[in-house]
Chains A and B, each alone.
Chain A
């Protein structure tokens, strides 16, 4: 598995002679690959600058089309029309598919997309294919992502006239460590060292820089500010609470969920054409085309509803089926009430986890494609009891700008005006723990723990003279172990013989500064200083495919013979 080690290569890789002549230090670029749109930015020596493609676009579409000999993505490829993307030959929404198994509801919701997402509902990766000349050609989300990243890399190398080796890539808060390894693999395929940064924390860093600048210019007070960051794009909704002061963005809590504009779009499509799913289940070429038509018209209507109270929909779907309807903003909000409810819960949960009351909030920053939706803006103003949301941060450029800032900071370059005297202190977005006490998930590093982190808990045996124990590591927030993401498993052996409940089995989890997770385990008897056997140290995740049935199989084979319970120490 590719190790997420982030290095700044310039010093170690250049010889002393080159160093003296080198005028341009290697600066990591920032990349934001959204479910629907993407962008790339770099610190240009005085500020963050978004790079434009040959068509002068800063914000490009995230898709890869397989219709030509070599696949091409939204960076270089030009769509003759929006429908081009919906012919089945293009793969998009890869961010919603990467590292997910076919039992995942997000994968199932992707089955109505024009390209093929085939599921067998057994917990393995879905089969993804693009339609080329009447053939479904298979690919994988990692491959699509890698093709896309290569395009961005080539574009940036051409414009910056230097090789790009390091990137800071933004990721959703809700991504599991397993998903992160898939993203890292895609970056490795593209020849890049990557540092991953949750999207709202990138926005928080940008906000910290703005506050710092205000202080330098004598505008700000310099006192600590608590900001609520809300970032909702096409695929994910993320929330962060950050305490910002003195150029430090200290993340206090994170919350995220795979809900976004795509869900709003699909719900609205179903509302406009209630039998759409049955119509499109066969995936003939005609049906794919009709689905594309409906998608484009619905997307357009949703955009318009951000600025007007109702929209006229008039589209000929072919085969004599026509759709003519006036869609009001109220209807749109009603159809999507569950999505908005979920957003509300995420915000409230994040504020609660950060132990922040609305009166403590200095600013509410709303970014992402969905930030234009009136319902979202109202929701945030209502919850935060604010009359206005923070301005001065571009909703579509915030995440990538923050990533570019982080790239510049991590590259160790200085700025004479202090614009880079910044630091982002991150927390764990999900709890990490093991299965114990029956089928419970026992967190060892809780959610929202500042990183780097090291924590340990002591467990004990459930059988007399139990010599081995199975350590099954999960990540998530659910109380039942198997409802969380499986990261890996190993066996600790050589537990000293003793009645059940006596041996002390210590599980230590360590997240280092490069976000690498190590799980350490050792067994001792009470009062004993040295473990009887060598320490176990396992880098996680070890599972190569996200199938939860590994854990099921282990449980089926070993039952309770190798279980653990948390040790309640006396006194």
Chain B
């Protein structure tokens, strides 16, 4: 139960206010508990960086990013996988949108670096992750219309 909960929450937390009822609709309790735990520890457990989503190192070239995206799309796109994989693909798409744009990628890299600095310098990791999460949210919105 716990693992499936984290999986579904991780996906939905890519979006601004996290709880989108269509995702967790089968179980309203999950919506409620997800919202309640929003700033709790599961953020540090569940969130993976865009690089992790695409399975590439931070040093990956533009060509490698595209290749990784296409490879993942070929296995995770809902047209390929009959089960509900929309969540998974939306996540991959969001990662690709940021990393395939040199400016956005540079911004994103800076944020990751900052977040790392914060946690290294002994501040609570919770603060660090929260600010990173806030950033990430905003980033998704701005990348909406861009390629």
Contacts and interface: CB of A to CB of B under 8 A. Distances in A.
B73 A425 contact: yes
A454 B20 contact: yes
Contacts of A423: 73-74, 77, 79-80
Contact of B21 (A247, A252, A529, A537): A537
A456 B15 contact: yes
A446 B144 contact: yes
Interface stretch (B2-10, B82-90, B107-115): B82-90
A424 B22 CA distance: 25
Contacts of A188: none
A508 B20 contact: yes
B58 to A, nearest CB: 22
Contacts of A510: 20, 22
Q: Which of B70, B78, B84 has the most CB atoms of chain A within a 10 A radius of its CB? A: B70
Interface residues of B, number: 33
Contacts of B16: 456, 458
B73 A453 contact: no
Nearest to A514: B78
B97 to A, nearest CB: 8
Given A452-B89, A456-B20, A513 B66 contact: no
A252 B147 CA distance: 8
Contacts of B126: none
Contacts of A453: 90
Contact of A513 (B21, B78, B145): B78
Contact of A518 (B22, B38, B79): B22
Nearest to B85: A513
A530 B31 CA distance: 9
A115 interface: no
A449 B20 contact: no
Contacts of A412: 82
B17 A506 contact: yes
A522 B18 CA distance: 13
A509 to B, nearest CB: 10
Please indicate which of the listed interface residues A424, A453, A512, A513 has the most CB atoms of chain B within 10 Å of its own CB.
A513
A456 B12 CA distance: 12
Contacts of A126: none
B93 interface: yes
B83 to A, nearest CB: 10
Interface string B31-45: 010011010000000
B71 A529 contact: no
B60 interface: no
Contacts of A252: 147
B145 A446 contact: yes
A535 interface: yes
A401 interface: no
Contacts of A520: 20-22
Interface in A440-466: 446, 448-450, 452-456, 458
Given A424-B79, A518-B22, A456 B17 contact: yes
Interface string A374-387: 00000000000000
Contact of B35 (A245, A250, A513, A530): A530
B17, B79, B90, B93: residue with the most chain A Cβ atoms closer than 10 Å: B79
Contact of B38 (A421, A512, A529): A529
A123 interface: no
B67 interface: yes
B22 A355 contact: no
A481 to B, nearest CB: 19
B2 to A, nearest CB: 21
A246 B74 contact: yes
A449 B144 contact: yes
Nearest to B147: A355
A70 B32 CA distance: 59
Nearest to A409: B79
Given A252-B147, A513-B78, A246 B67 contact: yes
Nearest to B74: A423
Interface in B50-107: 63, 66-67, 70-71, 73-74, 77-80, 82, 84-86, 89-90, 93
Nearest to A11: B82
A506 B147 CA distance: 25
11 contacts: A224-B66, A245-B67, A248-B73, A250-B70, A424-B79, A446-B145, A454-B20, A508-B22, A513-B85, A522-B21, A529-B36
Given A252-B147, A455-B144, A513-B78, 18 more contacts: A243-B66, A245-B66, A245-B70, A246-B67, A246-B70, A250-B73, A425-B73, A425-B77, A454-B20, A454-B22, A456-B17, A456-B20, A508-B20, A518-B22, A520-B20, A520-B22, A530-B35, A537-B22
Interface of B: 15-17, 20-22, 25, 32, 35-36, 38, 63, 66-67, 70-71, 73-74, 77-80, 82, 84-86, 89-90, 93, 144-147
Interface of A: 223-224, 243, 245-248, 250, 252, 354-355, 409-410, 412, 421, 423-425, 446, 448-450, 452-456, 458, 506, 508, 510, 512-513, 518, 520, 522, 529-530, 535, 537
Which 8 A/B pairs are nearest by Cβ-Cβ distance? A513-B78, A452-B86, A535-B21, A529-B35, A248-B70, A446-B145, A246-B70, A450-B93
